[in-house]
Amino acid sequence: MQTLFRAVKKSAFNRDDVHSFLTTRRLPGNVPYLIDNIWEFLRPEEMPGRRHSAYASPSAEIALASASARRNNPEDYVVCEIEANGTQMKMAHIQKNDAKEHEDIDRLRDVVFKAIGGFADLALSEKMEYAPLFLPGVSKEEMRAAFDASPKLQALEPIIRANSTFWQDASGTAQPHTGELFFEMLDGGQYRLNEVK
């Protein structure tokens, strides 16, 4: 397994904590629900789900820079190496520093609204058919069921697939760049954070 690093606030760090798979769906704070749902719907099986993942970096320096990038003081953080004890994980490393910078966000929003056409003027019953796209935290399975039940969503699917590159741009291994890296533990796996001295 590749060595990964996380920087966490000193006030929240406990070297005895054991971390595992996030059982609840974390809602995105920096990506619209429409995009988050599409990315989850299109996610290849070998890639981690962003909603259940932890974030990491390929180096201690990048981890600290990423954690303190939002005007936080680097002195407030402790940099740790992730110790997974041989536990398997799924990993994705994108080239953008933050998923909110990915081209999919503007492109998918534009093509979806263009394909729907005059969304604001639709009757409520027609808007409701598209609602699964915009609801928070819709699962891959729920999205598949909604698409299968709606001819209007079925017509959107090839457009969405043709215009999304998020997963094609992601690597399943850590790369030597500062892009966002996230991972998901498999089979109930756990990890610890060991402070880098």
Asked if pLDDT for residue 2 goes beyond 90, the answer is no
Distance CA 79, CA 63 (A): 7
Token pair listed for 19: 């971390």
Confidence at residue 100, expressed as pLDDT on a 0 to 100 scale: 92
Asked if pLDDT for residue 109 goes beyond 70, the answer is yes
Task: With cut-offs at 50, 70 and 90, classify the pLDDT of residue 33.
Answer: very high
Asked if pLDDT for residue 188 goes beyond 90, the answer is no
Confidence at residue 29, expressed as pLDDT on a 0 to 100 scale: 86
Asked if pLDDT for residue 125 goes beyond 70, the answer is yes
For the chain, the structural domain boundaries read: 5-195
Report the interhelical angle of 151-163 vs 140-149 (nearest 10°).
130
DSSP 8-state code for residue 195: E
Token pair listed for 106: 């503007």
Confidence at residue 144, expressed as pLDDT on a 0 to 100 scale: 97
pLDDT of 38-97, one tens digit each? Answer: 999 999 999 999 998 999 998 898 888 887 766 678 889 999 999 987 678 899 999 998
Give the H or E element holding residue 127. helix 124-134
Strands (E), 21-98: 54-56, 77-83, 89-93
Confidence at residue 92, expressed as pLDDT on a 0 to 100 scale: 97
